[in-house]
Amino acid sequence: MADSDYSQKDFIGEQVKHEDVVTITRVRSDRVFYRQFIRDPNQAKTSGHPRWYGDKFDLKDDQTWTEPDEVHHVPFTTKKGRQLTVTISGWKQMLMRGTKNYKMNNHPFTLLQIVVRDQERNSIWKPMWLIVIGSRRDELSLVDCYQCYRQRYDMEHLFRFGKQRLLMTSYLTPDVHHEENWFKLTLLSYVNLWAARKLAVVLPRDWEQYLKTNKSIKITPSAA
């Protein structure tokens, strides 16, 4: 999983070299992609450069969009009890422009649009666009791809907390085995803090003695 900064061809072009890797990355809403051109088998071949790209698909111009190949509606309830629905639309066999070094016409991908709506069918946030690329991408459903990308937020929060509070990057050694063991220790520390979060009590700071202690507050591992 990766953010929109990693949706460029110089990054994705390296990932598609691995047969068993499926990359899910967010893309900006101003990108332009293309449908893969499929020649009619009954059409006579012409001379010159073969055509690779079909109709343009401009993310900011819905007039260029075709009907999605798949649509899934996933209802979910927020922590505050709000009923929302995630609509996942998917277009298969999409292409992006390549370069001399990265011939992206050989690597079609699946384009996903994520829209969250309330019970009145009103859109809550701006649509999010994802691309799923890799030779084994069809083994994942659209819902699987969306849920995998959502895990990125948890992973980023974990790494930020580990670097800031658990000294994740403080143990530097040329021995890879030691580095891996240190990383595992930081993960165990995080799990222990998470398990102890209900045992800890939120206490006021020295300058907040006038505040009442609220034992019912849900605290995070950082507060624990």
pLDDT in tens, 17-65: 888 899 999 999 999 999 988 776 777 677 667 778 889 999 999 999 9
Average pLDDT over residues 106-119: 94
Q: Could you give the CA distance from residue 179 to residue 219 in angstroms, rounded to a whole number?
A: 30
pLDDT, position 208: 63
| pLDDT greater than 70 at residue 221 | no
Average pLDDT over residues 84-101: 92
Q: Could you give the CA distance from residue 36 to residue 44 in angstroms, rounded to a whole number?
A: 19
pLDDT, position 161: 87
pLDDT, position 188: 92
| pLDDT greater than 60 at residue 217 | no
pLDDT, position 179: 86
Higher pLDDT, 40 or 148: 148
Q: Could you give the CA distance from residue 135 to residue 15 in angstroms, rounded to a whole number?
A: 11
In this prediction, residue 1 has a pLDDT band, given cuts at 50, 70 and 90, of: low
| pLDDT greater than 60 at residue 211 | no
Average pLDDT over residues 162-190: 87
| pLDDT greater than 70 at residue 163 | yes
Report the b/e string of 10-40 with b at 16+ CB within 10 A.
Answer: eebbebbeeeeebbbbbbeeebebbbbeeee
In this prediction, residue 3 has a pLDDT band, given cuts at 50, 70 and 90, of: low
Q: In sequence order, which residues have a C-beta less than 8 Å from that of residue 109 and are 6 or more positions away?
A: 94, 95, 96, 131, 132, 133, 137
Residue 88 burial (CB < 10 Å; 0-12/13-18/19+)? Answer: buried
Mean residue pLDDT across the chain: 84
Q: In sequence order, which residues have a C-beta less than 8 Å from that of residue 25 and are 6 or more positions away?
A: 1, 2, 3, 4, 6, 7, 12, 130, 131, 133
| pLDDT greater than 90 at residue 206 | no
| pLDDT greater than 70 at residue 69 | yes
